[in-house]
Homo-oligomer: A and B are copies of this chain.
Amino acid sequence: MPINKINTPKDLKNLSIAEMKTLAEQMRSAIIEKVNTIGGHMAPNLGIVEATIALHYVFNTPEDKIIYDVSHQCYAHKILTGRKDGFVDSNNYLKYTGYTAPEECEHDLFKIGHTSTSVSLACGVAKARDLKGENHNVIAIIGDGSLSGGEALEGLDFGATLESNFIVIVNDNQMSIAENHGGLYENLELLRKTEGKAELNFFKTLGYDYCFIKDGNDLSSLISTFEKIKDINHPIVVHMCTEKGCGLKQAEENKEKFHWVMPGVLDETSSNTSDVETYTSITAEYLYNKAKSDSSVILINAGTPGVFGFTPEYREKLGKQYSDVGIAEEHAVAYSSALAKSGAKPVFTVMSSFVQRTYDQLSQDLCLNNSPITMLVYWGGISGADATHLCTFDIPLISNIPNMVYLAPTSKEEHLRMLEWAVEQTQYPVAIRVPNVPLVSSGIKDDTDYSILNKFKPAQEGEQIAILGLGNFYTKACELAKEIQLKLNINSTVINPIYMTGLDIELLENLKENHQVVITLEDGILNGGFGEKIARFYGNSDMKVLCYGADKEFPDRVPVDVLYQKYRLTTNQILEDITNILKK
């Protein structure tokens, strides 16, 4: 059994092609079983098994350097580089992250989960090698979906000018997370059709040498190509065609669905589509109906439609009113801004972690121009996610930009009302942090006029203590108020601040009359966030302010309850702090 013999890449070197084929099958089985058990990136990892074997057969890591893009294609690499136990032993399934992790292994160079970074990073690795007079191969692996990202394109442009060994492997599986978009993909298609022979070659125009691998799941052609280019003395792009999901019929047939899957995906019966309403489902439904009733509404996302419930059918029905710009968040924001300035009603949907890729466009293209777009930010909040995909930074990132209006709804009714206002208004760039908690329906029709900016909603009037519970943490504020009543016999004030981009000065001033303590609760990092603005506001007064939220750090797969404990976000801890401060 080849897989049993493989503990380091060196163990590969003596295998025959036949044995490597068996190894590939065994690795694939392990990946399928593990991902079906704990969830993860299924189709991307199945597609690149053979290429990973061939790379480690031909090249010698860690002397040679392989840099993965996104790095969610690294499962096979992990199996071959001493971390097999995390894939074949179900007790160790959680032992390793789903991304490259230098702290795990010397064969991993960077901790990366966002796309489009590998080529730039590899440029630095190659340049450092040259400065130091060293001599090894530098290999960037990038998926075709990641190529459209600005960082990848900047890196490709620069990398072409390196005058030394520099190998970029484009893993072309004809897919981003969903289908590919953009002119570049037409060129990849042309190159596939002509088996790399077309004169018109994107990579060659940048100055790269180029070679084509027709079947990137065929070990023999992979190995012979890699052997040819090993130790090459100039930049080359290896255009390698693989099948996303290769070896798992369901994944081959439904590449998008199997990009990232929940546990048990292969055990699912067809009947288990959930009817439970979520903030995501009601948002998708609202947007669909809105677009159908108003032809100037257009939905924009950057390569992750599934996250927002935009199924293939949904997208198709929207037709021209739907733009998946591919992995290109910068373009998405500038494009949305211009759409809004030109009288359309753009709604840009984006995950909190990925909105980070477009700060300058939010500031310059959007807010400086005060374009009335709607931006919906998903998944914001403290979670047990990988350090590469944290969603705790969007409040400081977005809310400190002038002109922006960033809203934190706390119920279905508020959210839908805000959505309608945001889409229809023509005065501000409006962002809404789509709640990342189970849907709450207040049952009360919301008729708030959100155009009156920075008007916080008092939900319960009390005294001594006021609790500002922002967005996701509004429920926590209500629970805290109940506990305060119970344990301290104080009827506290509860406020739903709604606006993350401005303060309700009048309300905050009035609190001074009969409150001594203000508590702020926000589901994100405290540094630069909402609570600090409240603390600054009360800086010149006798009001005490206690701010609760996440620390400035990159926790890696730390369970939420552990984080809450660490950040003193449990009701008991906050009560303890309040008790202490009231004693003073």
Contacts and interface: CB of A to CB of B under 8 A. Distances in A.
Contacts of A541: 544
A161 interface: yes
A335 interface: yes
B200 A183 contact: no
A334 B357 CA distance: 13
A187 interface: yes
Given A334-B121, A343-B132, A540-B581, A206 B199 contact: no
Interface in A473-527: 525-527
A400 interface: yes
Given A114-B364, A183-B208, A581-B540, A344 B132 contact: yes
Interface stretch (A48-56, A84-92, A240-248, A317-325): A317-325
Interface stretch (A123-131, A257-265, A454-462, A558-566): A123-131
Given A110-B369, A539-B546, A123 B202 contact: no
Contact of A535 (B396, B535, B542): B535
Nearest to A541: B544
B202 A205 contact: yes
Given A112-B365, A400-B393, A539-B547, A182 B157 contact: yes
A531 B540 contact: no
Contacts of A110: 337-338, 341, 365, 369
A13 interface: no
Interface in A394-442: 396-397, 399-403
A121 B200 contact: no
A197 interface: no
A213 to B, nearest CB: 20
Contacts of A113: 364
A538 B357 CA distance: 33
Contacts of A195: none
Interface in A138-154: 148-151, 153-154
Contacts of A368: 111-112, 387-388, 554
B328 A154 contact: yes
A207 interface: yes
Contacts of A132: 296, 342-344
Contact of A112 (B161, B364, B528): B364
A469 interface: no
A532 interface: yes
Interface string A193-233: 00000011110111110000000000000000000000000
A375 interface: no
A464 interface: no
A158 interface: yes
A533 interface: yes
A336 B535 contact: no
A109 interface: yes
Given A121-B365, A131-B295, A160-B182, A525 B400 contact: yes
Contacts of A334: 117, 120-121, 123-124, 151, 155
A181 interface: yes
B148 A150 contact: no
A547 B536 CA distance: 7
A37 interface: no
Nearest to A543: B539
A187 B208 CA distance: 11
A360 B356 contact: yes
Contacts of A65: 342
Contact of A338 (B125, B326, B529): B125
A158 to B, nearest CB: 5
Contact of A536 (B187, B339, B526, B553): B526
A545 interface: yes
Nearest to A336: B124
Given A331-B120, A344-B131, A356-B359, A552 B400 contact: yes
Contact of A124 (B127, B204, B341, B528): B341
22 contacts: A110-B341, A112-B369, A120-B365, A121-B334, A124-B338, A128-B338, A128-B339, A128-B342, A132-B296, A132-B342, A151-B360, A161-B186, A183-B205, A187-B207, A200-B200, A358-B360, A363-B393, A396-B396, A399-B528, A532-B536, A535-B535, A539-B545
Given A368-B387, A527-B533, 12 more contacts: A112-B368, A124-B334, A124-B344, A124-B346, A161-B181, A184-B206, A200-B205, A359-B360, A393-B400, A400-B528, A528-B529, A528-B532
Interface of A: 65, 67, 102, 109-114, 117, 120-125, 127-132, 148-151, 153-161, 181-184, 186-187, 199-202, 204-208, 295-296, 298, 320-321, 323, 325-326, 328, 330-331, 334-344, 346, 356-361, 363-365, 367-369, 387-388, 393, 396-397, 399-403, 525-529, 531-533, 535-536, 538-542, 544-547, 552-554, 577, 581
